[in-house]
Amino acid sequence: NAGVTQTPKFQVLKTGQSMTLQCAQDMNHEYMSWYRQDPGMGLRLIHYSVGAGITDQGEVPNGYNVSRSTTEDFPLRLLSAAPSQTSVYFCASSQRMTYEQYFGPGTRLTVT
Amino acid sequence: GENVEQHPSTLSVQEGDSAVIKCTYSDSASNYFPWYKQELGKRPQLIIDIRSNVGEKKDQRIAVTLNKTAKHFSLHITETQPEDSAVYFCAASRTGGSYIPTFGRGTSLIVHP
């Protein structure tokens, strides 16, 4: 199994540009989530999904959209990038009845 | 919602010493408390977890304790080694509501050889 994969690994955007961060898992996990990690701030939840077709907001959802059309994929869309969105983004997945979260390798995003 | 406080933010120890990281949580309904380790440039990975029906759990040199009354839990690492150097995150969550855990802000552990 590849586990949780994310693309791209690095990305530089200009203010106002849009883009999609890709996340996929091959473990048939029902739960998927997106976090951003900033120095001294830990892991903050952006959006999460408890199954295909179901998404909900986390702690810091503004400026981001998600959708979950399949169990495997959970893309994160930045609508109009801002310098405040410069961060490392992690996607994670987990089974319903167990609690370990499996993280992807992360995407380092810089917005200039 | 749940609020998780983690201390200290940085912990520096000599190789062979013990290290303790403490977390408090606010939601008395939380019943699952995982700890993740994140090495530099890598993804967070689960190292140990504890559920609310257990007071202590050990796995080799690491252990976690839980005090439900006081709503705090701690990670203990004994005989620290340089490869223990990393950022450690605690988290809290509960069944029945949002499954996704709330994370602490992390502790950067530095083990000096």
- pLDDT tens-digit profile of A33-69? 999 999 888 899 999 998 999 999 999 999 999 999 9
Closest C-alpha among A94, A99, A96, A80 to residue A15: A80
Contacts of residue A43 in chain B, CB cutoff 8 Å? 44, 89, 103, 106
- Region A98-102: mean pLDDT is 81
Contacts of residue A103 in chain B, CB cutoff 8 Å? 43-45
Quick check: B107 and B91 in contact, CB under 8 A? no
Return the pLDDT at A1. 78
- The CA–CA distances, whole Å, from A39 to A11, B106, B107 equal 18, 9, 11
Tens-digit pLDDT profile for residues B22-66: 999 999 989 999 999 999 999 999 999 998 888 999 999 999 999
A90·B49 Cβ contact <8 A:
no
Number of CB pairs < 8 Å for A and B? 51
Count Cβ atoms below 10 Å from residue B53 Cβ, excluding itself: 8
pLDDT band of B98, cuts 50, 70, 90: low
A103·B103 Cβ contact <8 A:
no
Nearest CA-CA distance, residue B94 and chain A, Å: 10
